[in-house]
Amino acid sequence: MKWELRGKTAIITGASTGIGKALALALAARGVHLGLGARGQAELESVAAECRALGVRALAVPVDVADPAQCKHFVDTCVSELGACDLLVNNAGIGMWARFADVTDLSIYDRMMRVNYLGAVHVTHAALPSLIQGRGLIVAISSLTGKTGVPTRSGYAASKHAMQGFFDSIRVELKDSGVDVSVISPGFVATDIRKKGFAANGQPLGDSPRDESEGATMSLETCTEIIMKAITRREREVVMTAKAKVGMWLKLVAPGAVDRIALRAVRERDGER
Ligand SMILES: NC(=O)c1ccc[n+]([C@@H]2O[C@H](COP(=O)([O-])OP(=O)(O)OC[C@H]3O[C@@H](n4cnc5c(N)ncnc54)[C@H](OP(=O)(O)O)[C@@H]3O)[C@@H](O)[C@H]2O)c1
């Protein structure tokens, strides 16, 4: 049975650009009232305005999810203004593109855990009472990198593996509460995540010569459609590509083959040799 979304309330982190923004607009179009968070206030305000134009309430609340106090303030503000949180989408995230041996600024490992993993932990903890009250849904936007190790993504993979373990665990704890937990693992999606991700020196990678619409990259529209379907079905897990689904099985019987596939994918994708 499909979950009726109209009139529900959702909180989304990382809603100013990319997947978070696309989900905010898709949920607004389905009549969901929104609490939107990210650091960039102007971009967030503009997304909230686009959502309001679709006829829903939409709040833009600046938050750095790496700061636990800000996570609590963000969720409390959204819940008190909107009256509830039926759906929480933990989407805020940052990436990295560097081999471990080349990394000169190890603080990127700390930052990645604080944003991708601990940010989701703190936001979820603050939203839990309201989610339980409304028998709601928690969505974690993880990654295929949360399923298997990927070269040049070691810190990112660690944070997404942590996310997967955390949300798999609380899914079991919440079984009798009526709250469902959905872990979504996209592959390459056409967003600006690569430009903002860390290089070996801890600085953002910046513009890449790569065309994001190329090859194995999924369009933002397709990714959003898949996530929206998972939300309405309250699916426990989505592994986004057919190749990755096969890879999950292969990892059980031939893990070395999956390592080679991951290496080849990163070489093709990032032009590494
Ligand atoms: N694109 C892909 O290929 C891909 C693949 C698999 C998984 N994912 C996951 O999908 C999620 C969304 O990524 P995206 O591709 O849409 O990237 P994106 O366009 O760079 O969006 C990232 C969002 O997270 C926010 N954010 C970053 N750091 C934050 C912080 N400290 N506090 C609060 N918000 C923060 C950003 O806003 P501000 O910078 O303004 O804070 C932005 O709204 C991430 O969790 C990512 O790991 C992406």
CATH number of the structural domain spanning residue 67: 3.40.50.720
- Report whether pLDDT(272) > 80: no
153 in a structural domain: yes
Q: Which of 189, 198, 218, 223 to mutate to test the pocket of ligand 1 (most atoms within 8 A of CB)?
A: 189
- Report whether pLDDT(179) > 80: yes
pLDDT recorded at residue 242: 92
List pLDDT tens digits, range 116-166: 999 999 999 999 999 999 999 999 999 999 999 999 999 999 999 999 999
List pLDDT tens digits, range 211-267: 555 557 899 999 999 999 999 999 999 999 999 999 999 999 999 999 999 998 888
pLDDT recorded at residue 273: 40
Active site residue 156: yes
270 in a structural domain: no
247 in a structural domain: no
pLDDT recorded at residue 106: 97
Question: Rounded to an integer, what is the distance from CA 216 to the centroid of its chain?
Answer: 19
Q: What percent of the chain has pLDDT over 70?
A: 96
Mean pLDDT of the chain: 94
Q: Per-residue pLDDT averaged across 175-184, rounded?
A: 98
How is the beta sheet containing 180-185 ordered, strand by strand? 58-62, 33-38, 9-13, 87-90, 137-141, 180-185, 237-239
256 in a structural domain: no
Question: What tokens were used for 156?
Answer: 């990112």
Does 223 sit in the ligand 1 pocket, CB within 6 Å? no
Q: Any idea which of 40-44, 167-171, 239-243 has the lowest mean pLDDT?
A: 239-243
Question: What is the CA(193)–ligand 1 centre distance, in A?
Answer: 6
pLDDT recorded at residue 267: 85
Question: For residue 42, what are the domain limits?
Answer: 9-241
No. of helices (H) and no. of strands (E), the chain? 10, 7
Question: What is the CA(93)–ligand 1 centre distance, in A?
Answer: 4
- Tokens 């990382």 belong to 14
The structural domain count of the chain equals: 1
List pLDDT tens digits, range 197-220: 999 999 999 875 455 555 578 999
CA proximity to 147, closest of 231, 250, 219, 273: 250
Residue 19 CA, closest ligand 1 atom number: 16
pTM of the model: 0.96
119 in a structural domain: yes
